[in-house]
Structure 1
């Protein structure tokens, strides 16, 4: 359901729209007895009425701009959006939703896009990437996973002293997301193995594995020639 125009006033016809509307958009009151403590009453102007075109006080706008975290664990664009959601919850027999704190709710890292499995030849340039969502924005690192002769799992922090490897991290592609890459150039046989994308913030941590399989280029060419000489 979309907002529609009525004069110069935009009227919201569905309560669910409040969570996605920009702060400051004029809304009809849900409670017609008056604006709540977090809102202010404003007049509206009718086109063509000149300076005397202001009439009534039946519209409310939110006084506070900024996201808040609700007691339901959800983030809201403004405290007014939270109060309206609480009103909807109470009307449907649910619980009152209160403001837990200013700012968005904390979210432990969640791997949105995991590293892939890659197969390439020595000398090539390859990379693995992962995307992580978290609030606050997570710290992303890369590790190479190996196993000791005694079967103990080992995690090597990257890039370490590897001259053919680089690790990069940036924000995005969406809000509260981060993307990390490990780039290898040129690819060597010893680079083969399992690589782990690890993300952490104050709310928790998460990780996901990808892998690189390496074929030596000379062996790859030889296999191609044999296949050409002996077609099936």
Structure 2
């Protein structure tokens, strides 16, 4: 440009730039139609969009059970079929189990239905904020027996319980429903080939209508959000965790497990009311507990399982919010989201450490034995306050445990 200016007899001067013009957009910006995100990322427990409804299909047909749940973060969904076995098969998404497929969105699809496929299929939805279980009854009927189903209610009282007559013959291939007083719901049972052993109902709905005299315990129902948009904060009872938790109600198509306040939820549902226990005594304070522990995490309890083999304790399933310290398990490297912690010698009446204390996140410190996270009566478990988590992080940054070990040596 300088050579061209010289040829034309022009003088160049450097002037400061006062305005910077942006390049015009290639197309006009579309109008903002999306709603602004809601503030806060607090975890929200799982809730169903609609209540589970019984289904009935003919032999050879196809059934679809959709566990449509909401929650933050998005809940992980698994399925299992209830049976009299000690453990049920856990069915996970993107897997096929015989004639059953669980899709990536948590939908269970059953192809070429057989009589033995009838039963209660339980959906379990779990995230960092809580746990939800819902039963989806499925009946598989013969076309000729469907016509006789209308007459079942007339002889209902005699058919509610299975026949007391023992049948040693081979199974007939039929499956009927009877009322289980312990579950307060109807369950399936195989029918033998003996005469008089076919006592029961062809469908779940017929059994419930005839044998379940009361409408059922609302506290045993799953939390249902509903499909509307009139959002309201509500409370629901979790029979697994045995406490009330908040959820977002859409304003319609809910169920009885829906309360306006925590107080009304705890008044209506069987929240354990035991005498107050003494505070758990820690083996040592925060700094010493941190240095003596193999791991320190911040997490939320999602499930507590009884485990007789664990020395009278159990297993606590914890959704990880943050891994503060991990010397032996590689939780950060593996990207672990849930951790099973074995409780050793924990008293059920007054558990120490009390992993069920409060609804919020907990700071949990313990040992690792043979790759298994362990907590005993003296382990450190406290509410994860901001001040407490910050103090742990500062101790780790300053390598306080290394200094403490030097003084002890």
Higher relative contact order (CA 8 A, sep 6+): 1
TM range (shorter): 0.3 to 0.5
Q: TM-score, normalised by structure 2?
A: 0.25
Larger-gyration structure (1/2): 2
Higher strand share: 1
